[in-house]
Structure 1
Amino acid sequence: MNLEGIRKIELDSFNNRIGLELGLAIVNYAKAKNQKIAVQVERLNHQIFLFIDDGLPADKHNWLRRKSNVAKLFEQSSLSVKTDLINGKMTLKETFALDDEDYLARGGSIPIFVKNAGMIAIVTVSGLHDEEDHKIIIEALKGKYIK
């Protein structure tokens, strides 16, 4: 499985309990690997889960928000947006007129789609190198939520 190639997660259904389970699965996976991370799971209209590990900078919630905004807008992982921007020699600011204070094209945010319904939620991680932020989501959810 090409982890970096995963642009979205597709589930049969989604609700707030599933959002909680996703967040806890990621936190527990990171804890088992002795990694300190911040995790956010949000529906398109409200936050379901937020955890920021002890010792992380106070601005981690801002990193989560900015990465999530990219995944929401482009409806694909923030890592794939970063890659597309690099390959196309583009930037969020110059190409799309998006403010750096609100948008960050770095790995760690993946949209969740429900089959036959579209994008319904976003899961975001921050605290590691951005490619590792992306990878930890995939690894933590592999098997039960990602086939």
Structure 2
Amino acid sequence: MSDFLHALLAQEEELQFDYFTNEDAFELGCIIVKHAKDVLGKGIAVHIENGEVPLFTHYMTGTSKDNTYWINAKKNVVRHFGHSSLYVGEKYKAEGTTFKDGSGLPLEEYQGEGGSFPIIVRGQGVVGTVTVSGLAGEEDHQVAVDGLRHYLTRT
């Protein structure tokens, strides 16, 4: 397994919650939006779910209904595989295939592109997703990771 794939799995081990509430989703979403605005200066769409219950959705200026497709397609990958959408897409590339050919899943509903990250609760496993859309896949992934890291390490 490549160093990159190991690093992506290490992020999933690092960025775990003791519990995850609706208030956590709201605060996490606000942190991600603020980061995109203040640090990146770019508009993104952010969607956070617990199970399949939407808890936070915000489309910044510069996003469109196209972001809805990407949010849904990337979060479906996390739900199906239990790993970040970037990890899943990169794993197929490392195996010498594409997400489409390797997974056999319809691209209308699934995309192995970066931007959706599992919300993991220790002792429970994956309970939801945080998904970012609007940048390149690896950048979307990094925005989600940065937001989670900031939220989980705040004092």
Contact 2:117 2:145 (C-alpha < 8 Å) held by counterparts: no
User: Which of 132, 136, 147 does residue 143 from structure 2 map onto?
Assistant: 136
1:10 to 10, 16, 26: 16
The DSSP-based 3-state class of the residue aligned with 1:145 is: helix
**Distance apart, 1:62 and its partner CA:** 1.1
TM superposition shift of 1:146:
5.6
Structure 1 position 68 matched with structure 2 position 75: yes
Confirm or deny that 1:19 pairs with 2:25: yes
Name which of 57, 65, 68 aligns with 1:58. 65
Residues 7, 80 of structure 1: 8 Å contact kept: no
Q: Report SS of the residue matched to 1:111.
A: strand
CA contact (8 A) 2:89 2:99 kept: no
TM-score (norm 2): 0.86
- Deviation, 1:140, is 2.4
- Once the two structures are aligned, what percentage of the paired residues are identical? 34
TM-score (norm 1): 0.90
CA deviations over 1:10-45 (Å, ceiling 9, x no partner): 110001111111111100111102111000001112
List gaps (5 residues or longer) in structure 2: none
Whole-angstrom CA distance in 2 between matches of 1:79 and 1:137: 11
Q: Which moved more, 1:65-74 or 1:2-11?
A: 2-11
Which deviates more from structure 2 when the two are superposed, residues 126-135 or residues 90-99? 90-99
Q: Using the alignment, how far apart are the partners of 1:101 and 1:126 within structure 2?
A: 16
Contact 1:4 1:135 in 2 (8 A): no
More helix by share: 2
Q: How far did 1:64 drift?
A: 0.3
Aligned length: 146
- What's the C-alpha RMSD, in Å, of the aligned pairs? 2.0
Is 1:112 aligned to 2:122, yes or no? no
Q: Please state how far the C-alpha of 1:4 moved relative to its aligned partner.
A: 5.5
